[in-house]
Amino acid sequence: MEEIQVKIKNSFAKKYQSGFPLLIKEAIINVQDLKEEGKLVKVIDERGEFLGRGYYGRQNKGYGWILTQKETELFDEAFFHKKISTALNRRSSLYQDDSTTAFRVFNGEGDGIGGVTIDYYDGFYVLSWYSEGVYQFKELIIESLKSLIEYKGIYQKKRFDTGGKYIEEDDFVIGERGEFPLMVKENGVNFAVYLNEGPMTGIFLDQRDVRKTIRDKYAKGKTVLNTFSYTGAFSVFAAVGGARKTTSVDLANRSLEKTKEQFELNNINPDTEDIKVMDVFKYFDFAKKNNITFDMVILDPPSFARSKKHTFSVAKDYKDLIKDAIAITSLNGMIVASTNYAGFGMDKFKGFIQKAFNESGGNYSIIETFSLPEDFRTRKDFKEGNYLKVVFIQKK
């Protein structure tokens, strides 16, 4: 396959020499040469010294990924077979755990191939492609996966059209078509997932450790507010952990039936819980006006969200979101603040928390923090890949 040379500015050369895998626009001198996604690239510095080889593929993170720092390494089936085999071996203990039947088996650049992830759902596998560039390797990656696993069926999600929206088409690849909902387990809790309904399956696998912690350590006897609740996974874990009452709030109409379904799968009567389809910010206003408080408030917003009256951006608005939570959290109560936004690190996130409490005139203690679980493998030379930041905050 034809290879394009990508020339890196001297000011970025050391970064790439150290293993940084993402091709970013500001580092590339000849961006204009990158035209056809999927083309292989040879990455060099301004002196022509070799830095790495990879592919050109546009996604929200950058312009492609370096896959090797070995100049003669080929991107053939043996290459992908080795990467996927190594990743599967790293997750071998998860396959042995009957209490958890949904987890990540390949985490993009953390396992050596930026732009693609593979998740496991009780015998079914889901590949997510994040650029048209990496999708060019589809056959090699799927054939490698098939040769290494026993599977009921394989599905895929294309996440790479230019508008940042999901490409709607049949997600089925090979094997048997699942009957949905498919029931999976996470630390003994049941979840309904749908591998055939758009880009999301019904549960965010990267929050596994956080949900377990809420259930095992903090939920018993508490009133819990779960904002941006999606299908209610945090609420279900809190209820299983003995929460006195959960309230789940999400603007999407589908959240009502999906959340009811998750409660019912765990023998919890959804009529005993509050499930509200409404703007989270309207709910905060409602709670403040009616002096409603909670022992625990969970904040897990999308990086960007828009409703009729609110536009929310994690980078600009998270501090004010924490202030809203502080206002309705009881004394000595807990705020679980979470974000999957990769544009800043834990220190800056903790800075938002400090500013929110300073402006609210209150005190707090950080009880514990979380980042990605072990199956969401990351690499030291790409800190942005460890995107998840979760802080358990006690209001004093």
Quick: pLDDT tens for 210-239.
999 999 999 999 999 999 999 999 999 999
Q: Which residues contact 66 (CB under 8 A, 6 or more apart)?
A: 16, 20, 21, 22, 23, 43, 51, 52, 53, 54, 114
What number does CATH give the domain 3-68? Answer: 2.30.130.10
Q: What is the amino acid identity at position 323?
A: K
pLDDT at 199: 87
Q: Are 20 and 13 in contact (CB under 8 A)?
A: no
Query: Pick the residue with more confidence: 328 or 162?
Result: 328
- Would you put residue 354 in left (φ > 0), alpha (ψ -120 to 50) or beta? alpha
The pLDDT of residue 48 is above 90? yes
Q: Are 126 and 119 in contact (CB under 8 A)?
A: yes
Q: Are 340 and 303 in contact (CB under 8 A)?
A: yes
Confidence tier at 148 by pLDDT (50, 70, 90): very high
Confidence tier at 252 by pLDDT (50, 70, 90): very high
Q: How many CA atoms lie within 13 A of 18 on its CB side?
A: 10
pLDDT at 309: 76
DSSP state of 302: -
Q: Are 255 and 239 in contact (CB under 8 A)?
A: no
The pLDDT of residue 24 is above 70? yes
The pLDDT of residue 133 is above 90? yes
Please give the structure tokens belonging to residue 57: 């593929």
Chosen CATH of 204-395 out of 3.40.50.150, 3.30.450.30, 3.40.920.10, 3.40.30.10: 3.40.50.150
Confidence tier at 310 by pLDDT (50, 70, 90): confident
pLDDT tens, residue by residue, 339-363: 999 999 999 999 999 999 999 999 9
Could you give the residue range(s) of every CATH 2.30.130.10 domain in the chain?
Answer: 3-68
- The average pLDDT across 170-199 equals 94
Q: Is the omega angle on the peptide bond into residue 270 within 30 degrees of 0, that is, cis?
A: no
- Mean pLDDT score of the chain: 95
The pLDDT of residue 162 is above 60? no
Confidence tier at 161 by pLDDT (50, 70, 90): low
Give the percent of the chain with pLDDT over 90: 92
Q: Which residues contact 278 (CB under 8 A, 6 or more apart)?
A: 249, 251
pLDDT at 163: 56
The pLDDT of residue 308 is above 80? no
Could you give the residue range(s) of every CATH 3.30.750.80 domain in the chain?
Answer: 77-182
| The Cα angle at residue 318 between residues 367 and 164, in degrees rounded to 5 | 120
> What does pTM read for this prediction?
0.96
Confidence tier at 305 by pLDDT (50, 70, 90): confident
- Local structure of 364: helix, strand or coil: strand
- The average pLDDT across 252-262 equals 97
pLDDT at 88: 98
The pLDDT of residue 2 is above 80? no
The pLDDT of residue 304 is above 90? no
Please give the structure tokens belonging to residue 217: 């350590």
- The average pLDDT across 304-312 equals 80
pLDDT at 195: 95
The pLDDT of residue 269 is above 90? yes
The pLDDT of residue 371 is above 80? yes
Could you tell me the CA-to-CA distances from 122 to 73, 97, 147, 353 in Å, in that order? 34, 11, 18, 38
Confidence tier at 167 by pLDDT (50, 70, 90): low
Per the DSSP assignment, residues forming a β-bridge with 4 are 41
What number does CATH give the domain 77-182? Answer: 3.30.750.80
Q: Hunting for tokens 């050391």 — which residue is that? A: 14
